[in-house]
Each structure stands twice: as structure tokens, then as C-alpha cells.
Structure 1
Amino acid sequence: MDFDALRTGTLAFVEAHKAWAPLVVGVLAFCESLAFLSILVPATVLMLGIGAMIGASGIPFWPVMIGGGIGAALGDWVSYEIGRYFQHGAKTIWPMSRYPEMVAKGEAFCQRFGAWGIVIGRFIGPARAVVPLIAGIFELPRLPFQIANWSSAFLWSFVWLAPTAGLLTFITG
């Protein structure tokens, strides 16, 4: 399936089944935040499209935003736990093994910013799924990780959905 077919199919599904929008956005955010899988799923573009649908078709904003936040936080949490479980062996798994320079940058980023790196990394495309994995490898304590993870996940979801939802509501309202 190519990107256009995935985009068109996903947006058509959400338009036809508005009640499923929070779950769809949650799954997309999970895929976008999960190490390795984020490379394969163009969730950011899809979330912008769904955000536009929120404004144009009356889908309630807050449940969709919360679904996105939960999905993003769970994706980062799984990435973090993979890093803690596999430790430095996680760097030998594809795609990490193919991008050692990205891993090195992620390590420096995590060491420099600690838990704040989770918040900052959430908004930097390629770092979004790598930083939690590396935080797990270096055993960033769970509580600071989870505080940064959950708070930034809801902020990230809001930032990706609100502009298109609000802009179209303003234009069509």
C-alpha cells in the first residue's frame, strides 16, 4: 500500500466513522512514537488531516486529542522499556544499527537534557521515537521519564491537532 492510499483510506474511514476518531488517532500516535515503527507510519500527516476533519465535520476535539496523547505516551513507554530490557544490545537492532550517528546524537541529547530531553525530543521528528529508547538504554529513572512522557504526549497531540481543527472551525464557522 502506498502513502496516498493509506492517507486516503484512513481519512475516509475517520470521516465515515467519526466515533472511532479518538482510537484511530491514538493508534497513529502510538505508531509515530514507537521506535522502529515510526519509520513506516506517516502518522504526523494523517493527524494533521484528521485535525482538519475535526474542524470541518463536527468531530469533538478533546476526545481525539486525548486519544492522541494516550497513544503517543504508550508508544514512548514501550520504546523506553525496550531500551531498558535490551540495554546497549538495542543499538544492534535494525534500524538503529544502520544509523549509528543518529544513535550517538540521541545519546548525547539524552545525557545533556535528561528527562527534559523526552519533552524536547517529542517535537523533533526523527528524535521522537529514538530518545525514549535511548533513555531506557541509559536507565533514566522511570518516574522522571513518565512525567516527561505523559505531559509532553498530551501537549504534542494538542499541537498537531489544534491548529488545523481550529483554523477550519474559524473559516467554516
Structure 2
Amino acid sequence: MASLIDPLIAFVSAHAGLAYFTLFLAALLEAVPVVGSVIPGSTIILALSALVPGGELQLEWVLAAAIAGALLGDGSAFWIGHRAQREILSAWPMTNYPRLIAQSEAFFHRWGVLAVFFARFVPPIRAFVPVTAGALGMAPLRFYAVNIPAILVWAPAHVLPGVLAVSALHEYAGISHHTGLGKYYWILTVAGLALILALASWTIRRRYGGRLIEPTPERIRNDFR
């Protein structure tokens, strides 16, 4: 993966417009069923965010690109599921990923509508939850009421760790942005993703204390509509 992303980072760092488009595309593709489970969107976003302290990219546009891509990706996947209903879950290429489909449905059975929020922070089912929400009949307004706040939290959670870490390297380690950061991209990526997953896990445990919400058809219908 490093052999693919390192040249990408080097290229887009010299082309700001392409960098923002890459951020947008990475966030969008993460929400596409099947594709999102193999595209390292979070890694790309975190790595590109490391270009903000050096001035190659602007923080507000990085956040805007990530938010816009995630909104379009999640929204498109949801409406595909909403129109096709459960048939989409048994159609190609979804049938090649029965385990992820089952995990997505189990996620809804456990967390109800809040599955849309929590799944934003849990790869790879993040790519399957929006389409599953539509297929299971979640009302559009209810989906967006949870999805939009989730994305507004998810984007800074992915972008800011890289920005803050590189800023700290500039400030306290005396490392030049142009000559010394290449070997730190993957350290920052792993540390940032670990922080995001730890925060998501802590939030879930604090909110529910590990208690299982028993799935019943009536509960799911009432929760979704």
C-alpha cells in the first residue's frame, strides 16, 4: 500500500486542486459498497492532511472536500438501497460479501438508528451500512439526521490528527516539511487511525456499557421510521 500512496502524496502535494479532488474521491469511494471495503480512503485522507501545516493545502478546504465526498457517497448508497430495497443485498456484487452484509445487518440490530453514526468510524462495514440502511427501510430524514452529524465528526477526526502531529514535528522536533516527513507518514497514519478507532470504541462502550440491544422486527421498524 505504501508503494501506491507515497507517489500519490508526492504528486498531489504539488497540485493543490488535484489534492482536494483526491480527498473528495477518497471520502466518496469509502461509502461505495464493495469498493469502499478495499479503497484505503481513511489512509489517503490522513496522509494528505499532513500537507496542511506546510501550506500546500488549506485546512478548511481539506475538511470541505472530505465532508462533501462522504455526504455524496453515503447519500448515493442510501438512495440505491432505498429504491431497490432488500433485493440490492442479494444482487451482484453484494452477494460476494455475505459476511459484511451480515455484519452490517447485525450492526443495525444491535444499535438501531445509531448504527449509521457508529459505522462511520468502523471500516470496512462503513461501506455497507448506508446501502443497508436504505434496504432495511430507514426513513430518509432519519438517516440524514444521524448521518450528517456523523460525517461532521468523522471528517475532523480523520484530518486533525495528521495536521496536529505534523505541526508538532515542525514545532518541537525541528523536522523540515519538505525533507523530513516522508518516513513519518505511515507512523502518523497508524497512530491517527488507532486514535480514531479507540475513540469510537470508547464512545460505544460509554453509551451502552456493552449491553446488547435485542433485535425484534417491531423495534427495528419503530426505530427506523
Normalised TM-score (structure 1): 0.88
Tell me which residue corresponds to 1:64: 62
> What SS does the aligned partner of 2:62 have?
helix
Counterpart of 2:132 in structure 1: which amino acid? I
How far off its partner does 1:130 sit?
A: 0.8
User: In structure 1, what is the equivalent of residue 175 of structure 2?
Assistant: none
- The runs of 4+ residues in structure 1 deviating greater than 3 Å are 3-6
How far apart are the structure 1 equivalents of 2:68 and 2:152? 7
Cα displacement (A) at 1:35: 1.3
Residue 28 of structure 1 aligns with which residue?
26
Determine if the alignment matches structure 1 residue 48 to structure 2 residue 17.
no
Bigger Cα displacement from structure 2, 117-126 vs 29-38: 29-38
User: What letter corresponds to residue 97 of structure 2 in structure 1?
Assistant: Y
Alpha-carbon distance in structure 1 between the residues aligned to 2:78 and 2:48: 27
* Counterpart for residue 97 of structure 1: 95
In structure 2, what is the equivalent of residue 159 of structure 1?
Answer: 157
Instruction: Judge conservation of contact 2:12–2:18 (CA < 8 Å) in 1.
Output: yes
Aligned-pair CA distance for 1:58: 4.3
Identity percentage of aligned residues = 27
> Per the alignment, in what secondary structure is the counterpart of residue 13 of structure 2?
helix
* Offset of residue 167 of structure 1: 1.2
Alpha-carbon distance in 2 for matches of 1:88, 1:19: 39
Of residues 5-14 and 75-84 in structure 1, the stretch that sits farther from structure 2 once superposed is: 5-14
**Does the aligned pair in 1 maintain the 2:107–2:115 contact within 8 Å?**
yes
**What stretches of structure 2 of length at least 5 have no aligned partner?**
172-225
The correspondence of residues 72-111 of structure 1 with structure 2, limited to 5 A, is 72-111=70-109
**Hey, what's the Cα distance between the residues in 2 that align with 1:57 and 1:39?**
31
Q: Give a deviation string over 1:26-57, Cα, whole Å, max 9, x none.
A: 11100111112213422121112101122234
Q: The residue matched to 2:50 in structure 1 has which SS?
A: helix
SS at match of 1:71: helix
CA contact (8 A) 1:80 1:136 kept: yes
Structure whose CA Rg is larger: 2
Q: What is the TM-score when the length of structure 2 is the normalising length?
A: 0.69
| Residues 91-137 of structure 1: per-residue CA shift (max 9 Å, x gap) | 22344212323222211222332321111000000111111111000
Q: 1:15 aligns with which of 7, 13, 16?
A: 13
Q: 2:141 corresponds to which residue?
A: 143
Unpaired segments ≥5 residues, structure 1: none
Amino acid across the alignment from 2:156 = F
Which structure carries more helix by proportion? 1
Quote the Cα distance in structure 2 between the aligned partners of 1:43 and 1:22. Answer: 13
